[in-house]
């Protein structure tokens, strides 16, 4: 697949596809957290919340074209692997690159806020 060869951070996408990025619900399921909430907003912390629905994520997605933002948010799938597959299959290379960069930027910003108190 041509789109995947140019992605700069395949490790992040691999972990996302395997639902193994350390998000609240994953950490709680593995007994690494008392509950599955996101400490900055109090919402139930899932991959969808962290990368698409949280106010932090919404601020980043607000910079994107409305039709692209609507498309990625309307995909309702049970897991990240199918969601990523649908995104990769439907988007042009340029759009996919922007989505991946935004996903990683949201994740990076979230880690900076949670672990380094850098807002």
Mean pLDDT, consecutive 10-residue stretches, the chain (119 aa), reads 46 82 63 66 80 90 94 88 93 95 90 75
- Classified as helix, coil or strand, 44 is strand
Backbone φ and ψ for 87, nearest 5 degrees, come out as: -65, -45
Q: Tokens 């919404």 belong to which residue?
A: 58
Say what the pTM is: 0.76
Given a contact cutoff of 8 angstroms between Cβ atoms, the answer to whether 53 and 46 are in contact is: no
- The pLDDT value recorded for residue 68 is 95
> How far is it, in rounded angstroms, from Cα 42 to Cα 58?
16
- What token pair was written down for 8? 């700069």
Of the candidates 119, 102, 116, 104, the one whose C-alpha atom is nearest the C-alpha of residue 41 is: 119
Of the candidates 107, 92, 116, the one whose C-alpha atom is nearest the C-alpha of residue 13 is: 107
Residues 6+ away with beta carbon under 8 Å from 73: 52, 53, 61
- Classified as helix, coil or strand, 43 is coil
């Amino acid at each position: 697949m041509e789109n995947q060869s140019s992605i700069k951070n395949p490790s992040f996408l691999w972990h996302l596809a395997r639902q193994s990025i350390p998000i609240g619900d994953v950490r709680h399921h593995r007994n690494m957290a008392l509950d599955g909430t996101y400490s900055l907003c109090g919402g139930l912390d899932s991959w969808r919340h962290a990368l698409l629905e949280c106010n932090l994520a919404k601020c980043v997605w607000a910079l994107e074209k409305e039709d692209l933002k609507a498309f990625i948010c309307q995909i309702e799938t049970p897991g990240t692997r199918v969601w990523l597959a649908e995104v990769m299959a439907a988007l042009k290379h340029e759009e996919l690159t922007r989505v991946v960069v935004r996903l990683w930027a949201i994740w990076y910003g979230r880690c900076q806020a949670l672990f380094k108190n850098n807002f």
